[in-house]
Structure 1
Amino acid sequence: MQVRSIATSDLDALYRLLVANGWAHRVGEVKDLKRVISGSQRAVVAVADDEIVGFARAITDGISNGYVSMVVVAEQYRRRGIGQALVERLLGSEPSITWVLRAGREGAAEFFGKLGFTISTTATERLRR
């Protein structure tokens, strides 16, 4: 398995991965996904068996704050360390950045807890309409 930065040629395969794994409501069409990617400072894919099996993206200033927006692994590839590798690649080694995320999916709090995230009581959010 390889984790690498996303390439434009990955968009169609990535779109299929997202739709197949419950993220269709967040990406719209391929053209919308392209906008999502271009607005992210960090976007990586996991490739195994010559196919995209995972994806993660983040928004960050690279100095102080970061937001992990999506972490997706194809169901048949879960529990193999792919999600962890994606998140580790996103976060990099900058210890000064405070990373936040919304972990509402089943098992997400436990997954991110293993990567050093803790439940915050200081976050405030304005939900999308």
Structure 2
Amino acid sequence: MQIRSAVASDADAVHRLLSANGWAHRIAGLEHLRQLISASQQAVIALADDGEIIGFARAISDGMSNGYLSMVVVAEPFRRQGIGQALVQHVLGSETDITWVLRAGRPGAAEFFAKLGFSPSSVAMERPRGQRLRIEV
């Protein structure tokens, strides 16, 4: 297995991977996925020995203090082989001064990320997609 940065020519295969593995709701289409990849500081893929894209992760970070791990996806037949862990390790790197956050709402996600050192937070908040900013006076 190899992990490398995603490039524009990977978008079709990444789109197929995401669509086949429960992430179609997060990508409106191929062009939307291309924009997500280009807007992320890191977008990486895992390649099988035959060159097939079998994993994808993306993240945004200031590189000093805070980071957000947005997607970690591994094709079903390749799960539980260390690929997801390798993707996360590649994205997070060895810098320990960065607080990384993520949403672990999928079945099994909390357990997976706990094994990598993540823990539930009592200080995080979110404003879900589709909601407008409320201003109270």
TM-score bin (small chain): over 0.9
Structure-1 separation of matches of 2:97 and 2:18: 31
TM-score, normalised on structure 1?
Answer: 0.98
Q: Secondary structure at the match of 1:83?
A: helix
Once the two structures are superposed, residues 98-124 of structure 1 have per-residue CA deviations (whole angstroms, 9 ceiling, x without a partner) of 000000000000000000000101101
**Counterpart residue identity of residue 36, structure 2:** V
C-alpha RMSD of the superposition: 0.6
Q: Secondary structure at the match of 1:120?
A: coil
Runs of 4+ in 1 over 2 A off after TM superposition: none
Residue 58 of structure 1 deviates from its aligned partner by 0.3
User: 1:1-129 residue pairs with structure 2 within 5 A?
Assistant: 1-48=1-48, 49-129=50-130
Once the two structures are superposed, residues 28-67 of structure 1 have per-residue CA deviations (whole angstroms, 9 ceiling, x without a partner) of 1110001000110011000003200000000100000000
TM-score, normalised on structure 2?
Answer: 0.92
Q: Which runs of 5+ in 1 are unaligned?
A: none
Residue 93 of structure 1 deviates from its aligned partner by 1.0
Q: Which runs of 5+ in 2 are unaligned?
A: 131-137
